[in-house]
Amino acid sequence: MTNALLDLPVSVAAPGLADFACKPEQSRGRRHAEPQAPTRNAFQRDRDRIVHSTAFRRLVYKTQVFLNHEGDLFRTRLTHSLEVAQLGRSLARALGLHEDLVEAIALAHDLGHTPFGHAGQDALNECMAPHGGFEHNLQSLRVVDGLEHRYPQFDGLNLCFETREGILKHCSLRNAQLLELQEPDGVGARFLHKGQPSLEAQLCNLADEMAYNAHDIDDGVRSGLITLEQLQDVPLFDNYRRQVQAEFSQLSGRRLLYESIRRMLSDQVYDVLRTTQSALQTHAPTSADQVRQLPPLVQFSAEMKASSTSLKSFLLHQLYRHPQVLHTTEWAKQVVSELFQAYLADPQTMPDNHASRDDLPRAVADYIAGMTDRFATREHARLTGVPTPV
């Protein structure tokens, strides 16, 4: 049976692992050798370690777009990561990719985010400009490779290569070269040789974009900063809104919004599945390693990519650069850069494990990056005596 609308086979049964999926038993391994777990595969174990990490718990109090105290129902980094994992698993199951690996990457992909979202990251990057800069993707890797201190035998979570490869979504050439020096032919190599990561990693990238586009519409409308009327300028969303209103003429408000977003997300999922299945047929990779030498295969169709880009541009101009968002953004940047100066001037105001490090600016950046919004706010008030203005 096929669904005429989508021209896809209708099946809820997982197709099983495809040849081109990553296999835990063929993993390129962990940086420190460990015996296998008796009942869990290596990717499941990575996912479990991520869920138990301190950095993961902190995501609940880290900003996605809206600061945590602005409302209880806005997405945080934690709920965003869960939504990426949900979309990722759905796509992975349908494509025969490894769901546990996708879930591990999705749950870890934002672990390196600073407090206060992109404003915090920009401020920290400016502070760190003379000391090698700050990249949140690289910071996510630093968290799982070293900054978590839980295990007796090693720093970090000692995750598999495939999970670490997926976490390092972007990397500057300079940092890729540094990674390559520490770990030859490791997770930095593909940025130097222009290779691709696994399909599981490619899929998480796209699931991330799909998740934030959808939930930022929801949060944007909830906040009152954007309206359904403004969204008429976004064909990708407005087509579904009109479709829903044609079917349910009485529907308005939140249910109309939810149903329009639901249809948009669902069509994006099927678009990715169709486009990716066709790319897989064309290139016919027979192993996960072969995928790394091919062009990116997990993709939107050209039409959906253009629609998604115009939605992103709408959100950038109407929401992320809304005067009210920019107002809190400016304040957040000030908090991060003043914290940085304060710790640099007086390292003893940080906990010992950071204060005693030889690489002081990087130690300060690691400490600040790990903070939740509210901890950073409290620290700022404690060190500067300036009360929180918002």
Binding region for Mg ion (CB under 5 A): 110, 208
State the Cα–Cα distance between residues 123 and 19, nearest whole angstrom. Answer: 44
State the Cα–Cα distance between residues 10 and 363, nearest whole angstrom. Answer: 52
DSSP state of 32: S
CB 311 to Mg ion: min, Å: 16
Are residues 202 and 196 in contact, defined by beta-carbon separation less than 8 angstroms? yes
State the Cα–Cα distance between residues 17 and 43, nearest whole angstrom. Answer: 14
Are residues 237 and 136 in contact, defined by beta-carbon separation less than 8 angstroms? no
* Closest by CA position to 113, among listed 375, 380, 376, 368: 368
CB 80 to Mg ion: min, Å: 6
DSSP state of 385: -
CB 110 to Mg ion: min, Å: 5
Closest to Mg ion by CB, 27 or 202? 202
* Max Cα-Cα span within the chain: 68
CB 208 to Mg ion: min, Å: 4
Closest to Mg ion by CB, 110 or 216? 110
CB 106 to Mg ion: min, Å: 9
Closest to Mg ion by CB, 110 or 259? 110
Are residues 243 and 5 in contact, defined by beta-carbon separation less than 8 angstroms? no
Q: How far is CA 89 from CA 269, 296, 319, 375, in A?
A: 11, 19, 28, 32
Closest to Mg ion by CB, 122 or 208? 208
| Residue of this chain nearest to Mg ion (CB atom) | 208
The structure tokens listed for 346 are 């007086």
CB 219 to Mg ion: min, Å: 14
State the Cα–Cα distance between residues 81 and 110, nearest whole angstrom. Answer: 7
Are residues 347 and 360 in contact, defined by beta-carbon separation less than 8 angstroms? yes
Closest to Mg ion by CB, 259 or 373? 373
Closest to Mg ion by CB, 50 or 288? 50
CB 103 to Mg ion: min, Å: 14
Closest to Mg ion by CB, 145 or 208? 208
Q: 298: left (phi > 0), else alpha (psi -120 to 50), else beta? A: beta
Closest to Mg ion by CB, 117 or 188? 117
State the Cα–Cα distance between residues 106 and 79, nearest whole angstrom. Answer: 11
Closest to Mg ion by CB, 215 or 380? 215
CB 197 to Mg ion: min, Å: 16
CB 109 to Mg ion: min, Å: 6
The structure tokens listed for 221 are 């409308």
State the Cα–Cα distance between residues 46 and 52, nearest whole angstrom. Answer: 10
Closest to Mg ion by CB, 106 or 325? 106
Which residues have a Cβ under 8 Å from the Cβ of 55 and sit 6 or more positions away?
Answer: 111, 112, 143, 144, 147, 148, 370
**Phi and psi of 2, rounded to 5°?**
-125, 155
Beta-sheet strands, E only, within 120-274: none
Q: What's the gap between Cα 213 and its chain centre?
A: 12
CB 167 to Mg ion: min, Å: 11
For the chain, the distance separating the N- and C-terminal CA atoms, rounded to the nearest angstrom, is 56
